[in-house]
Chains A and B, each alone.
Chain A
Amino acid sequence: MSITSTSPDRRPDLRPTGSGRWADPLFRAIALAAGVSVLLVLGLMIGSTARDAWPVFEYQGFVSFFTSSEWNAGSSRGEFTGVYGAFAFIYGTLVSSAIAIAIALPLALAISLYINRIAPRRFRQALSYTVELLAAIPSVVYGLWGLLFFSPVVLQPISRVLIGTFGNVPLIGWLFEGPARNVNYFIAGNVLAIMILPIITAIAREVMAQTPEDQIQAAYGMGATDWEVMRRVIVKRSFPGIVGATMLGLGRALGETIAVAMLIGGQQRWGASLFFSGQSMAGHIASTFQDAAPETVDALIAVGVGLFVITVIVNVLARLLVWRIGRVAGDAAL
């Protein structure tokens, strides 16, 4: 007597059907192919870009490529005649992204707390939709709007006030050195902040909503104020998620292309001031590849590889940070 014959009657809809016999393995194969194809595409991209970029690294020197700020595009085919130092673009990418995070993160946290705890219940859904709507605007529209409206009408007057106020303060004065042009790191950073706001807000709001209600009520029960509950319970519990959200936002800011190219200053130089007109890595690639000679196209691909390296470093750092915070939080919980 076999085991199967003694098993209780199955419900009819679980009985193996004709299609079930091949549908499972088929789905498994499709899922596997989908999973593998991601790795394959990524591997192909890394492989082919690294192959194209390699001669540039060899010609310019790997270290020199990342640390020199002289970029003089050559116009040759098959040999290298230009000078390719990408530091100015790396600096522009990092500074504009840092400005974006510095503005977007506090704003996103405040919006998330407002939506979760403070806003009247019937407005919450509408409000979070509105924030997410910002993500639907194409980045070229952000660029144009920034160039023709946001920069001259809003940001340039603010820049003048900031430069006037902090420009001569010892220790931080160099960050606020003027004069500011119509497009610079600060302008690009501000528009980037608006562009990454929805992604940070959406995740932070979701994470904060997961805070167990009994912990919140317990805190209130012990006499905590609204502010203390938000700071000590909600934000503290959500910290790893907020770091993750920030890193996603940062990833978008680092890679953002068209809007930054239009707003960062369009100049192959770098300067310490937040109001310097410079260029970012992605922006430089987008701006110049159309008219680039073959050797310069390779150099631009090398910039792309550099951007990839930086993005990977940022992501690894973020993982480490989340892991470390998780551990610390875990210790504290014990």
Chain B
Amino acid sequence: MRTFTRRAAVLVAASLLVSACGGDSDAGDPTAEAVDESATTTSGDAADGDTDDEAATGGPSGALDGAGATFPTPVFEEWIFEYADNVNPGASINYQSIGSGGGIEQFLAQTVDFGSSERVLAEDDLDLAADERGCAPIEIPVVFGAVTIAYDQPEIDELVLTGDLIADIFERRITMWNDPAIAELNPGLDLPDKEFIPVHRSDGSGTTSVFTKYLDADTDTWTLGEGTEVQWPSGTVGGEGNEGVSAGITQNDGGIGYINQAYALELGLQTASVINSDGNAIRPTLEATSAALSAIDIPDDFRFDILGVGGDGYPIAGTNWIFAWECGYDDETAELLIDFWTWAVENGDDLALELGYAPLADDVKPDVLAAIERVNAQN
């Protein structure tokens, strides 16, 4: 809300400035003076920091269409707003959050300029893509997010869980909060004699994909496989979207669910610490997510998973990639695509952090920027 107001003020100020400048040639006109006055005051109110001097920068104009994952939508929207308002007013960027599956399909069908997903393209999709377009798609990681284990039990401050325990809870092998295995790990807690009610996403979701990929790879006991939807056992309950999951957690006494870090922060839910591969219990903070990223090796083709995290890193995290092509854009579109994503990678960190996402680590950025430059390079 606050950012919106600021933006609205900047917009009003900018438009008034334009009209005021237009009026200046008419020096004696009293209305021009009035407008000028109001413009000065409004822009004075709005200038609470970084916005005004950027407004004049400009850049390639044109329109971009993107589609894909819902998970990074808040941060993409903020980036687009900020870029189109303050960096490059000539640009019009449209991002449709239609889901990772839809993002991949739309990208491969070439109906959008860039796609976005929480998973990389499958090998045969890469071949298909290269056949259709005549050049390879580029997969570029742009933002990261952790998946937190959230609950609503005011008397329990800091629950600690291992991956195996999380698997047991969500597969209903552990059904009570005061199960001995949990008590052993949480000696200081007075665990209630309540049933665990696991809450999962009922819609196909990248959050589910990240969560199940972690359980599938890093635990021994998980049997449900991985994917954007899995067949959860009876006795669990599904929620539609983050709102549905948070309603499931708060309305079912004993509810425990997995939820995107950004939303958990926003909703103020309690979150459990998870023991990583080095045996450290890590609270899900943005720093811990960033630590997880610095701990893993990112290959040159950016096709990687955040798994087996140790050190100070929080172990359940996912990547959001954007997809673009090495050829086939017209010059204007390619230029705008490169300019926008370069700007987002270089300047978007604060907005991402503010919204609960972890930005790219500084040592990866040069590689990512180089990958962005490959857009249309083969034209």
Q: A residues within 8 Å of B by Cβ?
A: 70-73, 75, 77-78, 143-144, 147-148, 151-152, 156, 179, 181-184, 261-262, 265-269, 271, 276-277, 279, 287-294, 297
Contact = CB atoms under 8 A, between A and B. Distances in A.
A44 to B, nearest CB: 21
Contacts of B238: 183, 265-267, 277, 279
Nearest to A148: B247
Contact of A181 (B203, B204, B248): B248
B251 A291 contact: no
A267 B236 contact: yes
Contacts of A276: 234
Interface residues of B, number: 41
20 contacts: A75-B227, A77-B122, A77-B124, A147-B247, A179-B195, A181-B197, A181-B252, A182-B251, A182-B252, A183-B237, A183-B239, A183-B244, A183-B247, A265-B237, A267-B238, A277-B238, A288-B204, A291-B101, A291-B203, A291-B204
From DSSP, what is the main secondary structure of chain B's interface residues? mixed
B230 A266 contact: no
Interface of B: 70, 98-102, 105, 122, 124-125, 128, 195, 197, 200-206, 209, 225, 227-234, 236-240, 243-244, 247-248, 251-252
Nearest to A258: B240
A77 B128 CA distance: 10
A269 B203 contact: no
A132 to B, nearest CB: 28
B203 A288 contact: yes
A52 B244 CA distance: 31
A8 B283 CA distance: 98
A291 B228 contact: yes
A266 B202 contact: yes
Nearest to A263: B240
B16 to A, nearest CB: 38
Contacts of A261: 202-203, 240
B237 A269 contact: no
A268 B125 contact: no
Given A268-B232, A269-B231, 9 more contacts: A73-B227, A73-B228, A179-B195, A265-B202, A269-B233, A287-B202, A289-B204, A290-B70, A294-B105
Contacts of A78: 124
A128 B266 CA distance: 43
A267 B251 contact: no
A147 B157 CA distance: 27
Contacts of A75: 122, 227
B251 A262 contact: no
Nearest to A262: B240
Contacts of B239: 183, 266
Contacts of B124: 77-78
Contacts of B247: 147-148, 182-183
Quick one: which of B124, B230, B231, B236 has the most chain A CB within 10 A?
B231
A259 B6 CA distance: 36
Quick one: which of B228, B229, B234, B238 has the most chain A CB within 10 A?
B238
A64 to B, nearest CB: 16
Given A183-B237, A266-B244, A71 B251 contact: no
A163 to B, nearest CB: 14
Nearest to B236: A267
A218 to B, nearest CB: 55
A147 B251 CA distance: 10
A290 B227 contact: no
A86 B237 CA distance: 18
Contacts of A289: 204
Contacts of A287: 202-204, 240
Contacts of B195: 179
A148 B105 CA distance: 34
Contacts of A144: 243
Across the A-B interface, the 8 shortest Cβ-Cβ residue pairs: A266-B238, A266-B202, A291-B204, A290-B99, A182-B251, A291-B228, A181-B237, A287-B203
Contacts of B125: 77
Contacts of B101: 290-293, 297
